[in-house]
Amino acid sequence: MAKMGLSMRDDPVRVIDVGARQWGEPANGFVLSVESVVLKEDRGVLSNLSVVLRNISAETRSLVVPGWMFFLHVELTGPDGNPVPMSPFGRELLRPERRTEKIPVTLAPGAHVETQIPIGSFFDMRARGVYHVVVWCEPAGGSAVRSNSLAIPV
């Protein structure tokens, strides 16, 4: 939660097993991974994403992230194969005038950073079926880094 600009004192530190995750194709010294995680408040909800950006280069990389929700781009396809529209909450959260945060991120070789995205709140996921999601970002040099594809049953 702290990576989204929220701080919760009772949030346990999550340990990320990078060897157990699926990763997208490397680009510009980075890889991106996405997987479903359950919400602490409702263990039946799988529409919370853990997104991990990892530095796979041999050198330390520094970035300035314009807030995680503006840095990470979510491509969500619904059960009908069409892009899923954002919810009113998601549209409000991503209004351009809210893009004021700048987060410095330094990743040593092999280091990673995680953020969670509650896509069930950001997108209209009311239809039953399987959704498909890919997350991408442009960490440096203009090359987009794409995550693995993930199927989310709802």
Domain containing 55 — which CATH number? 2.60.40.2360
User: Residue 93: what are its φ and ψ, rounded to 5°?
Assistant: -65, -35
Q: How far is CA 35 from CA 115, 132, 148, in A?
A: 11, 11, 9
Question: What are the residues whose beta carbons fall under 8 Å from the beta carbon of 137, sequence distance 6 or more?
Answer: 32, 53, 71, 72, 73, 144, 145
CA angle 15, 121, 77 (to 5 degrees): 90
Label residue 141 by pLDDT band (50, 70, 90): low
- Which range is least confidently modeled, 22-31, 47-56, 75-84, 134-143? 134-143
> What's the token pair of residue 7?
């701080």
Number of domains forming the structure of the chain = 1
Q: In this prediction, what percent of the chain has a pLDDT beyond 70?
A: 84
Mean pLDDT of 104-120: 92
Residue spans of alpha helices (H) in the chain:
68-71, 88-93, 119-122
Q: Looking at residue 134, what is its pLDDT?
A: 97
Which residues, in sequence order, are CB contacts of 128 under 8 Å at separation 6+? 79, 154
**Tokens standing for residue 97:** 């005038």
What radius of gyration do the chain's Cα atoms show?
Answer: 15
Place of tokens 């314009």: 66
d(CA 73, CA 85): 13
- Asked if 91 contacts 131 with a C-beta cutoff of 8 angstroms, the reply is no
pTM confidence score: 0.82
Range of the domain at 65: 2-153
Tell me the pLDDT band of 94, cut-offs 50, 70 and 90: confident
